[in-house]
């Protein structure tokens, strides 16, 4: 049998998920790796944590703890803080890998003191002082990830199981469904109290905003090597096309003459694939 046929089959299987979605899943798996590193669960991490850092299968109780951490962590929704968390986790993982290859004498020299202890307030006996005030254990009064994002974390984990050809446990699937259902209600309560924004994702452009953008592009005058005429012409036509067909910019960007046709005095624009129809069933 020709091995190229197997490669072709694997190629088609891999393309069941588009590249943009795949990259989004990898980003969520990198966020999951922060939890694993912070809790010293290095056995569920790959040596290279920049690509796909997480190893599967992961035990039920660890997955449950991990999603509880995601649902109560107030740094994950903020990109800059999430990047900082990931950087710190990578440094800790690299240090742990280096320490695993060090001798006992070298390791003793490295462990002079814990820098994190400098930021803690201690009493006369050397015990950590717990600050007064209410403890928001479940982040009920803070902004956390949206319900849609939480669903994305589950999808990323299931995708990884499928990539590794491992059956996703039905018990874990049910637990995560119940978790997301309860988390969605909590997010709705936060929106009602004004803790989180009502809208999720991108906001649509208003008609006045569309008119303003068109006017800017129409009146764009070249200045030396900046803003040549082609930018004005292309930008104006691209913006008008996006508005008239109510299409996303990625759909308009991929349009070709073969996708256009006439019906009586109307110009028809056929969009082969879009976000809600990746396989193009709507035009077949």
39-74, pLDDT tens digit by residue?
A: 888 888 887 655 778 888 999 999 999 999 999 988
Q: Is residue 200 part of a domain?
A: no
Q: Per the structure, how many domains does the chain have?
A: 2
153 shares a domain with 27: yes
156 shares a domain with 42: yes
154 shares a domain with 270: no
- What does the pLDDT look like over 196-252, one tens digit per residue? 888 777 778 888 988 898 888 888 888 777 777 888 888 888 888 888 877 777 778
Q: Is residue 198 part of a domain?
A: no
57 shares a domain with 90: yes
186 shares a domain with 89: yes
The last residue of one of the domains, among 192, 220, 237, is: 192
Q: Is residue 9 part of a domain?
A: yes
The DSSP element (H or E) to which 262 belongs, if any, is: strand 260-263
pLDDT-based confidence at 265, cuts 50/70/90? confident
218 shares a domain with 272: yes
169 shares a domain with 31: yes
186 shares a domain with 48: yes
Longest CA–CA span in the chain (Å) reads: 88
- What does the pLDDT look like over 92-144, one tens digit per residue? 777 766 555 445 454 344 344 333 334 445 556 555 444 454 445 677 788 88
182 shares a domain with 222: no
Q: Is residue 120 part of a domain?
A: no
Domain enclosing residue 56, as ranges:
3-113+135-192
Q: Is residue 199 part of a domain?
A: no
217 shares a domain with 149: no
177 shares a domain with 57: yes
Residues 6 or more apart in contact with residue 142 via CB below 8 angstroms: 74, 136, 195
Q: How many other CB atoms are found less than 10 A from the CB of residue 25?
A: 21
Which residue intervals of the chain are DSSP H helices?
A: 3-14, 19-38, 60-72, 79-100, 104-110, 147-163, 170-192, 207-218, 229-244, 249-253
Q: Is residue 128 part of a domain?
A: no
> 147-163 and 19-38 are packed helices; what angle lies between their axes, rounded to 10 degrees?
90
């Amino acid at each position: 049998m020709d091995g190229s046929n197997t490669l072709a089959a694997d190629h088609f299987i891999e393309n069941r998920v588009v590249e943009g979605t795949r990259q989004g899943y990898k980003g969520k798996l990198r966020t999951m790796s922060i939890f694993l590193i912070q809790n010293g669960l290095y056995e569920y991490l790959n040596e290279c944590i920049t690509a796909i850092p997480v190893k599967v299968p992961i035990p039920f109780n660890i997955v449950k703890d991990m999603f509880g951490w995601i649902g109560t962590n107030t740094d994950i929704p903020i990109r800059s803080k999430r990047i900082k968390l990931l950087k710190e986790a990578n440094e800790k993982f690299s240090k742990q890998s280096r320490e695993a290859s060090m001798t006992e004498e070298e390791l003793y020299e490295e462990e002079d003191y814990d820098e994190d202890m400098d930021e803690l307030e201690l009493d006369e006996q050397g015990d950590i002082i717990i600050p007064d005030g209410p403890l928001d254990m479940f982040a009920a009064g803070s902004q956390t990830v949206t319900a849609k994002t939480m669903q994305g974390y589950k999808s990323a984990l299931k995708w990884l199981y499928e990539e590794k050809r491992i059956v996703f446990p039905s018990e874990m699937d049910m637990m995560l469904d119940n978790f997301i259902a309860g988390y969605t209600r909590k997010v709705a309560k936060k929106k009602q109290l004004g803790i989180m924004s009502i809208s999720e994702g991108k906001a649509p452009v208003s008609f006045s905003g569309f008119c303003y953008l068109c006017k800017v592009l129409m009146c764009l005058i070249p200045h030396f090597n900046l803003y040549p005429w082609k930018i004005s012409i292309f930008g104006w036509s691209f913006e008008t096309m996006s508005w008239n067909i109510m299409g996303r910019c990625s759909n308009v960007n991929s349009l070709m003459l073969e996708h256009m046709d006439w019906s009586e005095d109307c110009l028809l624009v056929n969009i082969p694939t879009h976000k809600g129809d990746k396989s193009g069933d709507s035009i077949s």
